[in-house]
């Protein structure tokens, strides 16, 4: 039962991330993203406070906000897709670290015997 739930959770995570990518990139309207919009607002708030503390270099600090948010988007989406794929591919913790080569007695598709 647990592997089915983990696989389903992985599919849901991947679906949410892909929907967020679609809404953020392809359906570019203000306020339509699920995850990316919240992450961008958080990054903007943090960088704005850092810029206020920077004093006269405020503009320089704020000029890095856009690129920082883009990198944050990519990391957020890549992490979410990786998490979802991991939950789908390896749904039970009993199989962690054990590949099919070791379970079959050491002979994989390469013909090398272990």
Task: Match 């070791």 to its residue by tokens.
Answer: 102
- Sign of the torsion formed by the C-alpha atoms of 42, 45, 48 and 53: negative
- pLDDT for the residue numbered 102: 52
For residue 17, the tally of other CB atoms under 10 A from its CB is 22
Contacts of 88 by beta carbon, 8 Å cutoff, 6+ apart: 7, 10, 11, 14
Tokens encoding 72: 């944050």
> What does each of the 114 residues of the chain score in pLDDT, given as a tens digit?
788 888 999 999 999 999 999 988 888 777 778 888 899 999 999 999 999 998 899 999 899 999 999 999 999 999 999 999 999 988 665 555 555 555 555 555 555 555
Q: Cα–Cα distance between 87 and 73 in angstroms, integer?
A: 21
- pLDDT for the residue numbered 86: 92
């Amino acid at each position: 039962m647990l592997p089915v739930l983990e696989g389903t959770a992985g599919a849901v995570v991947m679906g949410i991330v892909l929907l967020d990518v679609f809404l953020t990139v392809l359906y570019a309207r203000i306020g339509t993203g699920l995850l990316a919009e919240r992450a961008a607002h958080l990054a903007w708030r943090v960088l704005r406070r850092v810029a206020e503390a920077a004093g006269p270099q405020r503009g320089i600090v704020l000029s890095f906000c856009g690129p920082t948010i883009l990198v944050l988007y990519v990391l957020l989406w890549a992490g979410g897709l990786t998490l979802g794929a991991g939950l789908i591919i390896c749904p039970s913790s009993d199989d962690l670290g054990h590949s099919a080569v070791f379970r079959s007695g050491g002979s994989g598709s390469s013909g090398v015997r272990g």
